[in-house]
A and B are shown apart, each in its own frame.
Chain A
Amino acid sequence: MEKKNLICIACPLGCALVIVVENSAVLSVTGQKCPRGEHYAIKEITNPTRIVTTTVTLIGGDIERLPVKTESEIPKDKIYDCVRALKGIAVKTPVYVGDVIVENIVDTGVDIVATNTKRTRTSG
């Protein structure tokens, strides 16, 4: 049996969690102020995941980059692969929030979606 300390990242409160682990299975989680804490602790011990946010090239808009994210969390060890895979991606305006930019990024089963709406530049 082993005790682990984690800070919950589910919300800005940042609860200090104490997790009891045995044979890589979570026996108990304490210290959380809401159910998200327990959910986070179990995932963080068994299969840590993160939402990844980055940008891709935007063509035709007022700015040069379009912000994007993984539609749901992906395994932590795929973060760099995900960002690298997006390096050469370019999107033309108009693009709308929620549009799928890349399907099934690095075989995670998760899509990359736009997080902003960008219309075509109207003037110089």
Chain B
Amino acid sequence: MLIYDIVIIGGGPAGLAAALAAKEKGIEQILILERDCELGGILNQCIHSGFGLHIFEEELTGPEYALRYIEKIEAFKIEYRLNTMVVDICADKRVTTMSQADGMCVLQAKAIVLAMGCRERPRGTLHIPGFRPAGIYSAGTAQKLVNMNGFMPGKEVVILGSGDIGLIMARRMTLEGAKVKVVAELMAKSGGLQRNIVQCLEDYGIPLRLQTTVVEIHGKEHITGVTLACVDEAGRVIDSTREYVSCDTLLLSVGLIPENELSLKMGVKLDMRTNGPVLNDKYETNISGVFACGNVHHVHDLVDDVSKEAEKAGTYAAMYVKGGA
């Protein structure tokens, strides 16, 4: 069985920064496992600018930010496997992977860095009545379709939730020729950055309606519209405010959840508030030698913060391996 000093689960911003930090601490046998066909994670579909102001002191797009790390990974000849899904991690740090090229493989790691990132809250968690028609996407899925696959989900769009991805997608869909009718936000305040409200909504005259939610989805085969309604201070729907809005696409930007299926299965203890692992001051989980960083730990607003955190986690993982504990 192949033995590595550190196996890093996920080749996004967290995994890349952790790998580089461990390498700089002198660790030789590092392996990054990535399920997608390229390194960089979600940054590859975040084509807008605004990344890297803290770390590089310039404004980069997502792919540019990722590339700065990927180029270093290549230069340091850090090993990575693409199109490789981690299906299981045991508490003794045996990692089982699956890929079309190599089939099933089992690796032994001395230390593991969990860097799987997060996923979007899906429609099912929102309890909106109605059929399950086509045309409903999480904002990040739509982002991937538009920015990487060149596929436009629709022409008349309603966005529920005003997280940053929702705001960014409001602008993106508009630039691609869609009409974004409204961004509805349940809370009294947008969850997105102020700058995104300005440059993604106000620049394009897209209305943001606060304390408003989708109470009904119309259409059976394909979405034909939604019913919006205001909510009161307690979050109760005010029936007299119900309003029908036609649309062929509904994007959901209603929160992100750390992706911890693998962590849970191997016995890592999670914090119920963040849905991420409980970590000590060395970014180590309750399992000795298993570290976590980035959005799998908790959802970060800025990728710069993910990179900084991952650098620390990678450094501690390296110290763990060197200490031989």
Contacts and interface: CB of A to CB of B under 8 A. Distances in A.
Interface of A: 6-12, 14, 50-55, 57, 62-65, 67, 69, 76, 79-80, 83, 97, 115-117
A115 B61 contact: yes
A41 to B, nearest CB: 12
B191 to A, nearest CB: 13
Contacts of B176: 54, 83
Interface of B: 37-38, 44, 47-50, 53, 59, 61-64, 67, 146-150, 175-176, 193-195, 197-199, 203, 301-302
Given A12-B302, A97-B64, A116 B44 contact: yes
A6 B203 CA distance: 12
10 contacts: A12-B193, A14-B195, A53-B47, A53-B61, A55-B150, A65-B147, A83-B175, A115-B47, A115-B64, A117-B67
B150 A57 contact: yes
B199 A9 contact: yes
A76 B198 CA distance: 13
Contacts of A14: 193-195, 198
Contacts of A6: 198
Q: Which of A6, A9, A80 has the most CB of B within 10 A?
A: A9
B197 A7 contact: yes
Contacts of A62: 37-38
Nearest to B301: A12
A10 B193 CA distance: 12
Q: Of residues B38, B195, B198, which shows the largest number of chain A Cβ atoms within 10 Å of its Cβ?
A: B195
Contacts of A79: 175, 203
A116 B175 contact: no
Contacts of A69: 47, 49, 61
Q: Which 10 A-B pairs have the closest CB atoms?
A: A14-B194, A116-B63, A67-B47, A9-B195, A64-B150, A115-B61, A63-B148, A7-B194, A65-B150, A14-B195
Contacts of B302: 12
B192 to A, nearest CB: 10
**Residue with the highest number of chain A CB atoms closer than 10 Å, among B37, B47, B59, B67:** B47
